[in-house]
Amino acid sequence: MKEKDFLSLLVDETFELQKSHQADVSHLEHQLRDFNLNFLKGEFIPQLQMLRFTTSLGQLDLPVNWSHFSDETELVLSSQNDPDLLFTVLEKSWLKKMTKLLITHADGFCYLVGLRKDEEFYLRDLIKIETQPRKVS
């Protein structure tokens, strides 16, 4: 049996989060803040089939049918690996020049994590954190 795709996992986590009525900060988000990394936290909006991120310029809505969300549980993009130009758009808008973009999820939220060249070593830790089992209360 095929493992669930990115969107299915995110939808399951979103509905679990809504049932529990808790929106605690995830272990992943604590790590992102501890590492002082640039990231956007997005929420799945089922009625619109969009991921909504809050940015300093307003809301950024991304359609869930983009190839980035097709079958990976996490995905690392760069300027050489950017079929839908998401990396390119975010690279232009973030103040710090990033070389990698991690797309992942935790506890019902999608995270876009921008990494500079000197921050790429965090990738191994961030992906490892995401694969650890999470307790949903």
Closest residue by Cα to residue 99 from 85, 84, 83, 118? 118
Share of the chain above pLDDT 70, in %: 79
- Tell me what the mean pLDDT of segment 110-131 comes to: 84
Task: Say what the pLDDT of residue 18 is.
Answer: 59
Sheet holding 50-55: strands in order across? Answer: 58-63, 50-55, 38-45, 109-115, 100-106, 75-77
Residue 39 corresponds to which tokens in the numbers above?
Answer: 């990231």
How confident is the model at residue 52, as a pLDDT?
93
For residue 134, what pLDDT band results from cuts at 50, 70 and 90?
very low
Output the pTM of the full model: 0.76
Q: Is residue 118 pLDDT above 80, yes or no?
A: yes
Residue keyed to tokens 């921050």: 119
**For range 53-77, the mean pLDDT:** 82
CB atoms within 10 A of CB 55: 13
Taking only the tens place, the pLDDT of each residue in 7-29 is 777 777 766 765 655 556 678 88
74 vs 19: CA distance, rounded Å: 24
Res 22: pLDDT: 57
So what's the pLDDT on residue 71?
61
User: Could you tell me if 112 and 101 are in contact, meaning their C-beta atoms sit under 8 angstroms apart?
Assistant: yes
- pLDDT band of residue 40 (cuts 50, 70, 90) is very high
What is the per-residue pLDDT for 95?
Answer: 72
Residue keyed to tokens 């590492």: 35
Alpha-carbon separation of residue 53 from 4, 63, 80, 118, 132 (angstroms) = 23, 11, 24, 25, 24
